[in-house]
Amino acid sequence: MPPIADRPPTLLRALWGTLLVAAAAATAWFLFGVANRLGYPHELEWMEGAMVDHAARVADGLPLYAEPGPEHVPFLYAPLLFWLGGAAMALGLDGLLALRLVATAASLGASLVIGHWVRRETGRVGPGLAATGLFLAGYGWLAWWYDLARNDGLFLLAMLGTGYQLRHGGHRRWAWAAVLATLAFLAKQSALMWLPAIGLGALLRDWRQALRFGAATGAGLGGAVLALHLASDGWSTFFLFEMPRHHGWNGERVVAFWTEDLRPIWPLLALGLVGFAVAVRTAARGEALLLAAFGTGGLVTSWLSRLHTGGFDNVMLYGFAAACVLGPAAAAADRRWVRWLVPTLLLAQFAWLAEAAWARAPRRTLLPSAAHARAHDQLAAFVAAQSGPVWIPAHGGITRRLGKGTGAHGQAIFDLLQALPKDAAGMLDLAALHEPARLAHLPPRVRQAITAFAARTEAALRARHFAAIVVDEVGAHAFAPLFAPALVGADGVFGTDDDPYLRQPRSLLDEPTAIRPLLGYDVHTPHAWLRR
């Protein structure tokens, strides 16, 4: 037992005790959400089902990256989540459950790495437990993303592992860090935004280890890209690197990211800056610079991802996780005022995150309603009653589960068509699909992908390959204009006797809006085009 004079004051101990209670409450809240969502048989976010369709291709032995067509357009995501989810599906797990298990395990793993890292930095268990709980307290602010069938948790876990190995690993830390960096890239290409900052921090700490890490990481990334390229006849390179270059940038978030998006974690960021300022004035300057580079890389990765058109709240996860390491790590500073500042700002941060979670309207965005489940069951009953494949661009995962094939997801189609010319209003000029001369300026592989998708889809529709096509009134309203030449007969008019498909006048659901996802693009009110 330390001498009485060495014990922290009663009020300071009370602050840390309150922090641990807040961390326990955040952990319990996260586990409550996971317990109610993990086994839910329908998609919670509008791309979850399509992620399952991608993993199913791995389970079925089909290529992830291939020439696009009506049955499959690859997402611009790296393959690790699909590989792991597909392996679990091949063992008999339901697709949504398999991918959510991977994502949830990765998020929990990230929280434990954060806590262990802070404990190593401070030499104390309390700050580490607070850091773990703080990360889980971001569950609501970050749109309940931690347990969704998405790849951000895997990416984050690997990036945290990379930074931790370089900071606290053993003699071969550069090798283990390079392996984790390669896995991070295979989880999400965003690793290429974060790794340069980590490499710079490693260089400032130990240039010999940094050079080994850089060489091993370069070999790992290069080998992964080459293997994927050769195995997919170049389609992986197209979808992972070439296609994203045709997407737009959200200029509104250049400044708003720092003034609005980051506002809920300002206390944490301020604490990280304080910890860094104190640390660089000590003998541990190299370690402080490595931590600062890691944190800066996470923030910049979030920023650049947010600038990308379609960057949702989930991309804030990277900077937040890095801040969950740097902020509590300030407790290592041997300054009396810092010892008081750390728990004070951490408590303020817990409170701010709780308010942000409440503002997310948990009753609507966290837990699915009974009406949501009924709407999906009703749609599934319609699909099961069809006599052949069914295509549902806005709701993935349903058709394969019922033995009715798979169809390309609306988001993947939209991503692919971003290279099309824009009209006067800045919208995609869909007419260019049927005028090859207007696509001549595009790179050969881009032109091949777009024209192949259009041609293969129109051929499938003209041949009546699908027994039914389910299209949402809201969100997928461009489906009919996109494929008008194939949906109408020789007279070019919808609704006549020679049309391959006939649109049904009513919604398929008793409560048409109940099927809208809890998160993501607001698609609902589905109707059907039935094969004649």
d(CA 311, CA 308): 5
Q: What's the confidence (pLDDT) of residue 310?
A: 76
d(CA 514, CA 252): 32
Taking phi over 0 as left and psi of -120 to 50 as alpha, with beta for the rest, 475 belongs to left
In degrees and rounded to multiples of 5, residue 49 shows phi and psi of -60, -35
d(CA 402, CA 487): 25
- Sequence-distant (6+) residues with CB within 8 A of 353 are 26, 134, 137, 138, 140, 141, 264, 265
Q: What's the confidence (pLDDT) of residue 448?
A: 93
Looking at the predicted structure, is the pLDDT value of residue 163 above 70?
A: yes
Within 385-443, residue ranges assigned H as helices are 398-401, 410-416
- Sequence-distant (6+) residues with CB within 8 A of 199 are 210, 213, 214, 217
| % pLDDT > 90, the chain | 78
Taking phi over 0 as left and psi of -120 to 50 as alpha, with beta for the rest, 443 belongs to beta
What single-letter amino acid sits at 473? E
- Sequence-distant (6+) residues with CB within 8 A of 356 are 140, 141, 264
Q: What's the confidence (pLDDT) of residue 489?
A: 63
Query: Which element (helix H / strand E) includes 393?
Result: none
d(CA 471, CA 512): 12
Q: What's the confidence (pLDDT) of residue 518?
A: 94
Instruction: Tell me the pTM.
Output: 0.94
In degrees and rounded to multiples of 5, residue 206 shows phi and psi of -155, 100
Q: Model confidence at 246, in pLDDT bands (50, 70, 90)? A: confident
DSSP for residue 123: S
Q: What's the confidence (pLDDT) of residue 316?
A: 96
Q: How far is CA 361 from CA 194, 312, 523, in A?
A: 32, 17, 19
* Range of lowest pLDDT (5-19, 349-363, 392-406): 5-19
